[in-house]
Amino acid sequence: MSEQIAFAASAAAPAAEAAGIHKQFGSTQALRGVDLTLYPGRCLGLVGRNGAGKSTLVSILSGIYPADSGEVRFDGVPAPPLGNVSAWRDRIATVFQHSMVVPGLTVAENVFLGRQPRRAGLIDWRRMREQTRQVMAEWGFQIDVNQPCADLTVEQRQIVEIARALAAGTRCLLLDEPTAALERGAIERLFARVRQLTASGVAVLYISHHLEEVFEICQDAAVIRDGELVLTGPASGLSKDDLVTAMVGPDAAATRADLTRAGAGRSAAAPAADRGAPLLVIDHVSAESPGGRVRDTSLQVRPGERVGMTGLLSAGVSTLARIVAGAAPYESGRVLLDGKDLPPGRRDLALRAGVGYLPEDRQADGFVSALGVAENSTMTITDWLARLAGFLRPQTRAAAAAPLTRALSIMSAGPDQPVGELSGGNQQKVTAARALARKPRLIVAITPTRGVDVASKTLLLAELARVTAETGAALLLATDELDDLAICDRVIVLVRGERFTEFTEPPFDREALIAATEGMARDAAAGGGASKGARPTAHPTPTDRGHHDRASGLRRHSSRRPRPGRGRSRPPGTQPAHCRGLADPRGRAAAGPCPADRRRQPGQQRVPHRLQLLRHRGADRSPRRHGGR
Ligand SMILES: Nc1ncnc2c1ncn2[C@@H]1O[C@H](COP(=O)(O)OP(=O)(O)OP(=O)(O)O)[C@@H](O)[C@H]1O
Ligand SMILES: [Mg+2]
């Protein structure tokens, strides 16, 4: 606990305290004497590299794990015994990093899990559904509250988790990377709620790898490194550089040089014209999906080319990427790799044809929790490894995995550690290793840096860039993290499942990209101005005009103004397209105002978009990183 925070919060008694917490898992010392205090009415931002111990601390503060030593206190009183779940639930509400939504239960049942409203001793289902509807309406989502959570998108499930924690009404709230799967509108609403809650005296712990978010909503900040709290203080007295330097530690200068080399390792891709025939052809593909529909979309990617795809999450970006990876079906059109059809929804055939895949939902599709790091990383090349030796020994796998785990800076206790025991960001890196192991000809990556710390993010992107430059593999990168697009040769923006515009000249203008994702300013972009290199889609469709005509409906999302006379207002009380994907999986017009149209609260700032170029770059040189350097 820093003196500065103590001074700032001296008037209030702590709402929650972790005092001298130690926690060890096998040979891994996850926490080493951590002291952390949460004060009523203040939000503390906790940051640190992947595997630093953040989620372990959250689990101990939530009564999931016992500490080996040390004490948790609420309002100065020792925490209840671990098994007393309802007593913990009265004191603290948590949004965990790993999904705690029960897929087989409905949205309403999940929101009120363990604290269902009752009448005459029985669960009051009607009230439960009604209250859930209200909570969802507050979030601007018209999710059917009777829908099983298994049918929801990753973002919708995250909203259910957040709604559950916020509705609990506790004095302490822990949020472990709550925005990782959220798009801009939902992040703004979450931040507004966090501000309201702190204003009403709630103590909040906020964990994020988006450091700018810490400065956006936190009064205090703390950095944890290798299980130790190394920096705490009021956020106003700290810079992003201070946080990154504390996260990376004394090796910062050396590791920064490593990273610069890693980044420089990628050579500039050859001009498109020199790269020969297209490797990937997406030909007028259409698909319906709860994650966003795709409509009559075409795209070609040449060998060695790195093509970014972005848009609001409901715009069909991840759907199209999943289609190409063979992980989702489509209704019409064709997908060809090297002139050969990739059958819809056949991930096995796509893998064999040379498509490496980093899925969006790493927990569901990215790894096998009970298997080790080496086995997961080399899962896609089991046949190769077995063929080489005639049989497959663990050492063979470990040797094959070592270069990948090293390049991606995967931190674990060793090649045999089950991936389920790794920190969230390291699980994501294992997913990346698995995708790269088979030396793919096409890499399809959906939000590959989600949950990855700022330094490892640079390494991961540099590795993707290096692989494409050196092997001639093509990259299709679907993301809402605009800084990830920096490695791309061009960027396609999808709006409502269709190609809206394309940016062809890096570096890509951030504001123009944001405007384009919101279906705005395509003409302005094409005409030059701020969005250098943007050009109208190669396949304009009649409905493309429709997006532009709806500019007035979208205007309040952006500081840019549509040209006078071009906009056509959408009917009052209806939602613009980007709100519909979540409101209605089939994209039908939904009633009710667009949540993003609500005016910002006084003093509330616009959420900075996720385009943050690292000023500090560093890599973890922890001895726990296996595979050596
Ligand atoms: N159940 C477990 N069994 C074994 N090791 C574990 C377990 N849970 C966490 N660890 C280890 O403890 C360390 C801290 O992990 P933790 O999940 O707290 O990191 P984190 O700071 O949340 O990282 P991230 O930013 O990637 O989410 C890691 O080395 C992790 O592998
Ligand atoms: Mg974590």
Specify the pairing of strand 442-446 against strand 474-478: parallel
**Is a pLDDT exceeding 60 seen at residue 66?**
yes
Length of the chain: 629
**Is a pLDDT exceeding 90 seen at residue 319?**
yes
Q: Which atom of ligand 1 is nearest to the CA of 224?
A: 21
Smallest-distance ligand from the CA of 411: 1
- pLDDT confidence of residue 195: 95
Which token pair is 447? 């939000």
Q: What is the pTM of this model?
A: 0.79
Q: Does the beta carbon of 25 lie inside 6 Å of ligand 1?
A: yes
Provide the b/e sequence for 7-35 (b: ≥16 CB within 10 Å).
ebbeeeebbbbbbebbbeeeebbbbbebe
Percentage with pLDDT > 70 across the chain: 76
Element (H, E) at 286: strand 280-287
- Cα(50) to ligand 2 centroid in Å equals 7
Paired residues of 609 in beta bridges: none
Q: Which atom of ligand 1 is nearest to the CA of 425?
A: 26
- Cα(416) to ligand 2 centroid in Å equals 20
Q: Which atom of ligand 1 is nearest to the CA of 56?
A: 18
Ligand 1: residue of 422, 427, 449 to mutate (most ligand atoms within 8 A of CB) is: 422
Smallest-distance ligand from the CA of 50: 1
Smallest-distance ligand from the CA of 428: 1
Q: Does the beta carbon of 51 lie inside 6 Å of ligand 1?
A: yes
Q: Does the beta carbon of 428 lie inside 6 Å of ligand 1?
A: no
Smallest-distance ligand from the CA of 455: 1
Q: Which of 10-24, 117-131, 195-209, 262-276 has the highest mean pLDDT?
A: 195-209
- Cα(425) to ligand 2 centroid in Å equals 7
Q: Which atom of ligand 1 is nearest to the CA of 65?
A: 1
Q: For 34, phi and psi rounded to 5 degrees?
A: -85, 130
Q: Does the beta carbon of 46 lie inside 6 Å of ligand 1?
A: no
Q: What does the pLDDT average to over 525-548?
A: 38
Q: For 565, phi and psi rounded to 5 degrees?
A: 85, -10
- pLDDT confidence of residue 251: 63
Q: What is the Cα–Cα distance from 68 to 23, expressed in whole angstroms?
A: 5
**Is a pLDDT exceeding 80 seen at residue 197?**
yes
State the CB neighbour count (10 A cutoff) for residue 549: 16
- pLDDT confidence of residue 500: 94
pLDDT digits (tens, 9 = 90+) for 109-160: 999 988 888 888 898 999 999 999 988 887 777 788 999 999 888 888 888 9
Q: Does the beta carbon of 50 lie inside 6 Å of ligand 1?
A: yes
Smallest-distance ligand from the CA of 626: 1
Q: Does the beta carbon of 409 lie inside 6 Å of ligand 1?
A: no
Q: pLDDT band at residue 535, thresholds of 50, 70 and 90?
A: low
Neighbours of ion ligand 2 (CB under 5 A): 54-55, 97, 423-424
Q: Does the beta carbon of 52 lie inside 6 Å of ligand 1?
A: yes
Ligand 1: residue of 25, 426, 456 to mutate (most ligand atoms within 8 A of CB) is: 25
pLDDT digits (tens, 9 = 90+) for 252-265: 655 555 545 444 44
Averaged confidence pLDDT in the chain? 79
Q: Which atom of ligand 1 is nearest to the CA of 624?
A: 29
Ligand 1: residue of 23, 28, 98 to mutate (most ligand atoms within 8 A of CB) is: 28
Q: Using the 8-state DSSP alphabet, how is residue 597 labeled?
A: G
**Is a pLDDT exceeding 90 seen at residue 348?**
yes
Q: Tally the C-alpha atoms within 13 A of residue 271's C-alpha that lie toward its C-beta.
A: 2
Q: Does the beta carbon of 422 lie inside 6 Å of ligand 1?
A: yes
What letter represents residue 485's amino acid?
Answer: L
Q: Which atom of ligand 1 is nearest to the CA of 26?
A: 4
State the CB neighbour count (10 A cutoff) for residue 99: 18
User: Rounded to a whole number, what is the distance in angstroms from the first to the last CA of the chain?
Assistant: 35
pLDDT digits (tens, 9 = 90+) for 15-51: 999 999 999 999 999 999 999 999 999 999 999 999 9
pLDDT digits (tens, 9 = 90+) for 369-380: 999 999 999 999
Domain with CATH 3.40.50.300 in the chain: 8-100+168-238, 264-354+439-538
Rounded to the nearest angstrom, the gap between the alpha carbon of residue 578 and the centroid of all alpha carbons in its chain is 19
The vertex-453 CA angle with 449 and 457, nearest 5°, equals 45
Burial class (CB in 10 A: 0-12, 13-18, 19+), 409: buried
Q: Does the beta carbon of 585 lie inside 6 Å of ligand 1?
A: no
Burial class (CB in 10 A: 0-12, 13-18, 19+), 446: buried
Rounded to the nearest angstrom, the gap between the alpha carbon of residue 307 and the centroid of all alpha carbons in its chain is 19
Burial class (CB in 10 A: 0-12, 13-18, 19+), 50: buried
Q: Note the CATH number of domain 8-100+168-238.
A: 3.40.50.300
Smallest-distance ligand from the CA of 64: 1
Ligand 1: residue of 55, 363, 410, 452 to mutate (most ligand atoms within 8 A of CB) is: 55
CATH 3.60.21.10 fits 264-354+439-538, yes or no: no
Q: Does the beta carbon of 54 lie inside 6 Å of ligand 1?
A: yes
CA-CA-CA-CA torsion sign (381, 486, 451, 242): positive
State the CB neighbour count (10 A cutoff) for residue 245: 20
Q: Are 193 and 168 in contact (CB under 8 A)?
A: no
- Cα(58) to ligand 2 centroid in Å equals 9
- pLDDT confidence of residue 289: 87
User: Within 291-449, where are the H helices?
Assistant: 317-324, 347-353, 373-377, 382-389, 394-407, 424-437
The vertex-194 CA angle with 236 and 593, nearest 5°, equals 125
Q: What is the Cα–Cα distance from 255 to 235, expressed in whole angstroms?
A: 26
Specify the pairing of strand 340-341 against strand 122-123: unpaired
For residue 62, give every residue at least 6 positions away whose Cβ sits within 8 Å of its Cβ, in sequence order, or none. Answer: 88, 92, 94, 96, 174
Residue nearest to atom 25 of ligand 1 (CA): 50
- Cα(55) to ligand 2 centroid in Å equals 4
- Cα(612) to ligand 2 centroid in Å equals 21
Q: What is the Cα–Cα distance from 448 to 428, expressed in whole angstroms?
A: 7
